[in-house]
Amino acid sequence: MSSWDLPPDYPLSSDFVRRLKSALATGDKDMVQELICTEAEPVDAVIELANDDWMKEPSAQLPTGALLGLWTLEYKRELTTPLCIAAAHGHVLCVRHLLSRSADPDASPGGRGALHEACLGGHTACAQLLLQHGADPDLLNAEGLAPLHLCRTPASLGCAQALLEHGATVQLECGPDRVTPLHVAAQHGLDEHAQLYLARGASVDARNGRGETALSAACGAAMRSPDEQARCLRLCALLLRGGAAADARDEDERSPLHKACGRARPSLCTLLLLHGADAGALDYGGASPLARALQTTTCAPPAAQHRTVQALLNYGSPSVWPDAFPKVLRTCAQVPAVVEVLFNSYAQLRVSESWLEVVPEEVYQMHEPFYRSFFALAHTPRCLQHLCRSTIRKLFGKKCFYLVPHLPLPETLQKYLLLEPEGVLR
């Protein structure tokens, strides 16, 4: 019978657990230390910190999910040990004391050991102590993940270093998605972790269960804050310098560029294009990176909403099929710079006054100078300067971004050739 099946030494209803939970909730480190180091017996006592067994307790208040029918027949408890609690909260002295009393560093009645807890919390000193006392650096938790896979924050870098120094497997594929530690670092934008793993021999283009490389995982991850985005950009640059395939496809034939465009990250898209990503690649659904960029235009920061579309077109992406332009106008009307960049990628595209119906009146009024110039083209051809631009761009093809800056032209004309928006159409 496993520890999970045995009654806990300290059930949820016990006075010990009540005092422990109170101390943890208030951050009373002294009380936590006293309880788990002096009162808890035996040293590897099983402690029940939570019990979601509302189905067996009629008086229990049902969680919201149950009221929606999202309940499970599974009996769930949070079981732990004094050592796990100490490691999870970074109590180094407690960890040392418990280990000196021969606490089992790999005990995990709740499916997660003390080393897992230390890594999740980024507590390097605790992780080092556990490893020095024989903790298994590749021990899998209940989800099938090793400690390295739980190093998910910048603060956990020291834990990752300690794990590798004690023999952790850098190329270990874990969990239902068969991810490596490098995939985890990529998903969380941890550039220093990635550098550490690559230096220890991690395969830069290893695939997970969905066919993603670390670069693909990084490009598809949600990075919300500027700091997260900056770290992710550094990580992707590191992977590309390390030989990562810029155009590696996942099981849906999506490339890293597809995913970066879907996340509205122009700097990352430009980086991928500079390293040879195919601007015209199609996924299984027939979507191009440009289509993904147009779909997420309104999600991009205001100062960069047109940059991804501009970069893709300057690296040879085919433009949108002319008959589909009204659909693009409907989606991107509130971002006229995107409409302008895309419209200028055609040598000649007939403007229909019926398109006015897809531009909301309030959007038209907000950007009236642009839309007045746009619909004025329904009655007149494009100017000679634009036609010259189109001819040069057609001649340069996919090399526009590289060749235009070498032309003996003023910077303003170079920007014009590279579709820099002006706010009006001529």
Q: What is the pLDDT of residues 224-265, one digit of tens each?
A: 888 999 999 999 999 999 999 999 999 999 999 999 999 989
For position 51, what pLDDT does the model report?
62
What is the spatial distance between Cα 195 and Cα 190, in angstroms, rounded to a whole number?
A: 9
For position 214, what pLDDT does the model report?
98
Phi-psi domain of 245 (left: phi exceeds 0; alpha: psi -120 through 50; beta: other): beta
DSSP bridge pairs for 10:
47
Span 379-392, pLDDT tens digits: 899 999 999 999 99
User: Hey, where are the domains in the chain?
Assistant: 1-56+76-201, 266-426
pTM as predicted: 0.88
Please give the backbone phi and psi of residue 133, each rounded to the nearest 5 degrees, phi first: -100, 20
**CATH number for the domain running over 1-56+76-201:** 1.25.40.20
CA angle 153, 155, 157 (to 5 degrees): 85
For position 76, what pLDDT does the model report?
56
Span 10-25, pLDDT tens digits: 998 899 999 999 998 8
> Which segments of the chain have a pLDDT < 50?
1-4, 53-75
For position 68, what pLDDT does the model report?
39
**Spatial contact of 252 and 244, defined as CB atoms under 8 Å apart:** no
For position 302, what pLDDT does the model report?
77
Query: Position of tokens 């390295």?
Result: 148
